[in-house]
């Protein structure tokens, strides 16, 4: 369900906004009150990790939980990424241990934590994720509500119910709103279309492409579907498709969620980015690194999830995005994301060696005189050239900086590289740290 791409409406393209109806009072609270509430809960989360002996407590080191009560303190902790989860889980599998690798506070009989899990899911890897027993465990109800879903609606859910949690995410939260759910799952287009014609659902959840297939198939057969609203995820929703859906009578919204975290952000009637879900602490960090970037810079989405069943501190999603300044015209006051802007785990193979985004982050830490950096791979596969393109923070460049930068690149990557020092603002703000420009073979 992750990696939706936000296609912003053209300037002035947001819908006219009627007096808003919020899911709860938290959506329009003062930002300072939200921040205070989150920072009060953060030390409690760290203490829970330590008290329950969860894996992240070991990874965080000997921190004093009560001191982690600010964004500055949080930024001093390591970032946990999906490969860390996978390594811990795989090591536990090999020894017959906890299938969650020590990250989950809930489980079933036979685990260190024997109670609490309602379901368990498997994502590619394999990687296992628990689902707790809360009625709105994945917190998708907030996104559904913003998309116009209300109690009494029939929701046609065409996300997968098999292995991965996407179907359960929407199903459980729709029921928590008071909706009725038809569990369509994926595929079986003709059967799903038949069910829609018979049951006349008001709402749809699934991917944009499958919704388009259903609507086109209905048109081919001379039918009009009853759908009037949709919450979409899992793939891009271009503005052109959004408008096509609107012409078919479907008001489509999108959300950004992952199997590890549940809902991260969601679209509202303002059509200006994605509003961050409550109970999450968002950071945008240098891809492959740990340090937060200034507002507006593109970087990796890092989330601290205050979920006591599956607590994750500074979890790197591997997705690129940036914070939009200001607040939404819909009245919701939480931070807004621009949407999915690519992947942070960039890499390329150069002269038999891999270079990756984490190495560029390491180079940046060693060269604080430089701003945005990009390792560019050019030439042919057999005759590779590696170039570090680096923005200066001040001009003229300090004497010997280019030579020192070349030496740092060699220390970090074990590869020789040319260095191009550029004026500030020369590199695009797109989060790309490794750019392989070689022609495909």
Per-residue model confidence (pLDDT) at position 15: 56
Q: Write down the pLDDT at residue 383.
A: 73
Whether the per-residue pLDDT at 277 is higher than 80: the answer is yes
Q: What beta strand segments (E) does 346-431 contain? A: 347-350, 353-356, 370-380, 383-392, 418-422
Is residue 13 over pLDDT 60?
A: no
Q: How far apart are alpha carbons 275 and 333 in whole angstroms?
A: 8
| Segment 400-432, tens digit of pLDDT | 999 999 999 999 998 999 999 999 999 999 998
Are 155 and 163 within 8 A, CB to CB? no
Q: What is the pLDDT of residue 353?
A: 82
Has residue 203 got a pLDDT over 60? yes
pLDDT number for residue 9? 53
Do 322 and 299 meet the contact criterion of CB atoms below 8 Å apart?
yes
Q: Are strands 280-285 and 299-305 parallel, antiparallel or unpaired?
A: antiparallel
**Choice between 94 and 181, residue whose per-residue pLDDT is larger:** 181
For 304-359, what is each residue's pLDDT tens digit?
999 999 999 999 999 999 999 999 999 999 999 999 898 888 888 887 788 888 89
Q: What is the pLDDT of residue 439?
A: 82
pLDDT at 205 over 60: yes
Residue 308 burial class via C-beta count within 10 angstroms: exposed 0-12, middle 13-18, buried 19 and up = middle
Terminal Cα-to-Cα distance of the chain (whole angstroms): 32
Provide the pLDDT confidence category of residue 36 given band limits of 50, 70 and 90. very high
Quickly state the pLDDT bin for 288 (edges 50, 70, 90): confident
152 φψ region: left (φ > 0), alpha (ψ -120 to 50), beta (else) = left
Q: What is the pLDDT of residue 10?
A: 44
**Is residue 45 very low, low, confident or very high in pLDDT (cuts 50, 70, 90)?**
very high
Under the banding of pLDDT at 50, 70 and 90, the label for residue 441 is low
Q: Which residue has the higher pLDDT, 323 or 124?
A: 323
Mean pLDDT of 145-157: 97
User: Mean pLDDT over residues 177-186, rounded?
Assistant: 96
Mean pLDDT of 102-119: 93
Q: Quote the strand ranges of 99-187, DSSP E.
A: 119-123, 127-131, 154-157, 180-183
Question: What is the rounded distance in angstroms from the CA atom of residue 294 to the CA atom of residue 415?
Answer: 30
pLDDT at 379: 83
Answer yes or no: is pLDDT of 386 > 80. yes
Helix (H), strand (E) at residue 254: strand 251-258
Exposure string for 311-325, b = 16+ CB within 10 A, e = fewer: bbbbbbbbbbbbbbe
- Of residues 194 and 384, more confidently modeled: 194
Residues 6+ apart with CB under 8 A from 408: 363, 366, 367
Q: For 49-111, give the DSSP string.
A: HHHTT-HHHHHH-S--GGG--SHHHHHTSPPEEHHHHHHHHHHHHHTT--TTTT--S-B-TTS
Report how far residue 218's alpha carbon sits from residue 222's, in angstroms, rounded to the nearest whole number. Answer: 6
Is residue 126 reached through a cis peptide bond, with omega within 30 degrees of 0 on the bond before it?
Answer: yes
- Please state the separation of Cα 200 from the chain's center in Å: 33
Q: What is the mean pLDDT of the chain?
A: 92
Give the Cα separation of 433 and 247 in Å (integer): 40
């Amino acid at each position: 369900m992750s990696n939706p791409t936000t296609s912003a409406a053209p300037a002035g393209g947001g819908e006219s906004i009627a007096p808003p109806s919020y899911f709860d009072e938290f959506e329009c609270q003062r930002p300072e009150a939200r921040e205070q509430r989150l920072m009060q809960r953060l030390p409690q989360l760290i203490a829970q990790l330590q008290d329950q002996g969860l894996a992240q407590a070991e990874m965080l080191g000997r921190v004093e939980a009560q001191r982690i009560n600010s964004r500055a303190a949080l930024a001093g902790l390591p970032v946990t990424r999906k490969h860390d989860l996978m390594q811990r889980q795989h090591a536990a599998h090999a020894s017959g241990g906890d299938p969650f690798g020590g990250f989950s506070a809930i489980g079933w009989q036979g685990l260190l934590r024997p109670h609490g899990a309602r379901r368990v899911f498997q994502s590619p890897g394999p990687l296992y994720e628990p689902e707790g027993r809360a009625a709105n465990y994945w917190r998708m109800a907030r996104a559904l509500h913003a998309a116009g879903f209300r109690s009494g609606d029939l929701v046609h859910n065409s996300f997968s119910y098999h292995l991965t949690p996407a179907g359960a995410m929407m199903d459980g939260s729709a029921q928590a709103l008071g909706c009725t759910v038809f569990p369509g799952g994926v595929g079986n287009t003709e059967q799903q279309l038949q069910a829609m014609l018979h049951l006349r659902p008001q709402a749809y959840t699934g991917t944009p492409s499958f919704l388009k297939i259903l609507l086109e198939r209905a048109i081919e057969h001379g039918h009009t579907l009853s759908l009037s609203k949709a919450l979409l995820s899992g793939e891009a929703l271009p503005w052109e498709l959004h408008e096509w859906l609107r012409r078919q009578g479907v008001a489509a919204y999108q959300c950004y969620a992952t199997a590890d975290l549940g809902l991260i952000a969601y679209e509202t009637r303002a059509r200006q980015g994605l509003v961050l879900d409550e109970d999450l602490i968002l950071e945008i960090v240098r891809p492959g690194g740990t340090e937060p970037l200034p507002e507006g810079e593109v970087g990796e989405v890092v989330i601290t999830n205050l979920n006591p069943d599956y607590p994750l501190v500074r979890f790197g999603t591997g997705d690129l995005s940036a914070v939009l300044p200001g607040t939404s015209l819909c009245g919701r006051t939480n931070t807004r994301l621009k949407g999915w802007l690519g992947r942070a785990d960039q890499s390329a193979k150069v002269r038999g060696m891999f270079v990756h985004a984490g190495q560029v982050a390491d180079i940046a830490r060693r060269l604080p005189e430089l701003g945005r950096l990009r390792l560019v791979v050019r030439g042919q596969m057999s005759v590779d050239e590696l170039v570090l393109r680096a923005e200066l923070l001040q001009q003229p460049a300090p004497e010997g900086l280019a030579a020192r930068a070349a030496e740092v690149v060699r220390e970090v990557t074990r590869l020789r590289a040319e260095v191009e020092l550029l004026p500030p603002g020369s590199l695009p703000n797109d989060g790309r740290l490794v750019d392989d420009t070689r022609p495909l073979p």
